[in-house]
Amino acid sequence: MAADRHDAGPVRLGFLYPGHAAEDDYPAVAAMLGPQVVVEVVHTGMGEDAHREDALLEIGGRDRLRPGAKELQARGVDVGVWACTSGSFVFGWDGARAQVDALSQDLGAPASSTSFAFVSALAALGITRVAVAATYPADVAQRFATFLDHAGVAVLATGSQGIVTAAEVGTLDADATVGFVAAGDHPEAQAILVPDTALHTVRLLDRLEARVGKPVLTANQVTVFEALRLSGRTARADGLGTLFAAGTSEPVTQPGR
């Protein structure tokens, strides 16, 4: 792993994670990136665990996120990311921007969300045509496609597993995950996006990319990438897919940010 910035010392990345499902992906990534990257994960309340618009708007509301932001601030993080895709894109592009602006104010540090993390990762790789392999119900998956369209990303296929709860997503095994991601590909897509932080993916990235023969960007993977981007660090590591194999020479600027 390489993590570079002009000043020395480890970077401390903060993540607000809703409930409990695949939060162990974050220390797993940190272990792969090495001692220069420290992760702090704070769990936020979920109310109702449901991939449904009303529940997602409540999960991603400022009242839900503010206590976690203050906890991350107390832990001395350099940046913070709302580690929830559906709980950010459901607000729409402008609403998601307002959400991370409020998070940054409450945190006292740069902030973003997993939805914007996908946009940053695509920009870093120069990818503009994608397929989406989503665990969500079809209507929620389409909201993600609409969010990407706002960023100038063409979604050529949108797959949906129709899973309502994050708890159920967190129980999917490796074979099931690889199967539905591969089934969600499109021949003209430059990459496949897998947008659910409740899904365990970081230990499967090499297997996923070998199966489909193209980059696979997953929610927890891009969330860490986004935190590093905010901190001004660059990182490379084996086992974390094309995104971290390529790294970036300069911090990436999000379109529209």
Q: Return the HEC string of the chain.
A: CEEECCCCCCEEEEEEEECCCCCCHHHHHHHHHCCCEEEEEEEECCCCCCCCHHHHHHHCCHHHHHHHHHHHHHCCCCEEEECCCHHHHCCHHHHHHHHHHHHHHHHCCCEEEHHHHHHHHHHHHCCCEEEEEECCCHHHHHHHHHHHHHCCCEEEEEEECCCCCHHHHCCCCHHHHHHHHHHCCCCCCCEEEECCCCCCCCCCHHHHHHHHCCCEEEHHHHHHHHHHHHHCCEEECCCCHHHHHHCCCCCCCCCCC
* 251: in domain: no
* 252: in domain: no
Tell me, yes or no, whether 37 and 104 share the same domain.
yes
* 253: in domain: no
**Tens digit of each residue's pLDDT, the chain (257 residues):** 344 443 458 899 999 999 898 999 999 999 999 888 999 999 998 877 667 777 887 888 999 999 999 999 999 999 999 999 999 999 999 999 999 999 999 999 999 999 999 999 999 999 999 999 998 888 999 999 999 999 999 999 998 888 867 677 877 889 989 998 999 999 999 999 999 998 999 999 999 999 999 999 999 999 999 999 999 987 788 899 999 986 543 333 433 33
Provide the residue range defining the domain that includes 50: 2-115+220-246
Tell me, yes or no, whether 136 and 167 share the same domain.
yes
Q: What is the CATH number of the domain that holds 139?
A: 3.40.50.12500
